[in-house]
Amino acid sequence: GAVVSQHPSRVICKSGTSVKIECRSLDFQATTMFWYRQFPKQSLMLMATSNEGSKATYEQGVEKDKFLINHASLTLSTLTVTSAHPEDSSFYICSARDRRGGSETQYFGPGTRLLVL
Amino acid sequence: DAKTTQPPSMDCAEGRAANLPCNHSTISGNEYVYWYRQIHSQGPQYIIHGLKNNETNEMASLIITEDRKSSTLILPHATLRDTAVYYCIVSNWGNQFYFGTGTSLTVIP
């Protein structure tokens, strides 16, 4: 399988500050990456689709000005939570689309746990 | 929205086969069935996917019914490390994944 990394693995920040989370595909190029959020004891919820070189596509109800996504290269997408508040505390997970070998699969990163105080 | 239905929880004895069902009665002709699992506080791990034929890899087997309205993930010899939440997802190539609530599998010693 392919490897996707996320940094940082966990972050604590004060309310009102911004936090950037990086998602990297380590051994393949990904023109498309996805960002999810997961609250305790719940399933993953898709937030947005990140496309290399173009604007991200956000799911209904996700504020694009609050969750800024940049996909500047074929191996890196970033999610910035702007003016974070305690209700933004969650587990953020990215995935990258792998199209090698004539098949298509998404591989997920290990997740970033965000705690906003 | 998720297009799959899975039982919320299942138990399996260690060493026995774990058979996890998934209902996807509204699947369209070009949608694949994907299976992932998530161990607590980690990102989902890819297991297997298929279109209409049965598939097998080193982790599991995927059995898709002829009408494609349901599938079963088979872990042939469950171990304690297979305890996780298992998600069944249907999606076209290139499209987003919408996760359902999954099945929490507990492997019992």
Q: What would the pLDDT profile of B51-87 be if each residue is shown by its tens digit?
A: 998 999 999 999 999 999 999 999 999 999 999 999 9
Distance from CA of B15 to the nearest CA of A (A): 25
A111 touches chain B (CB under 8 A): yes
User: What are the φ and ψ backbone dihedral angles of A101, each rounded to 5 degrees?
Assistant: 70, 20
Residues of B36-64 as b/e, b for ≥16 C-beta within 10 angstroms? bbbeeeebbebbbbbeeeebeeebbbbbb
Tens digits of per-residue pLDDT, B22-46? 999 999 988 999 999 999 889 999 9
Tens digits of per-residue pLDDT, A95-110? 999 888 777 889 999 9
State whether A43 and B102 contact (CB < 8 Å): yes
pLDDT attached to residue A46: 96
A58 touches chain B (CB under 8 A): no
CB-CB neighbors (< 8 A) of B96 in chain A: 34, 46, 49
Give the position of tokens 């209409």. Answer: B52
A89 touches chain B (CB under 8 A): no
CB-CB neighbors (< 8 A) of A1 in chain B: 46
State whether A111 and B43 contact (CB < 8 Å): yes
Q: How deeply is A103 buried, as exposed, middle or buried, from its count of CB atoms within 10 A (0-12, 13-18, 19+)? A: exposed
> Where is pLDDT greater, at B104 or A53?
B104
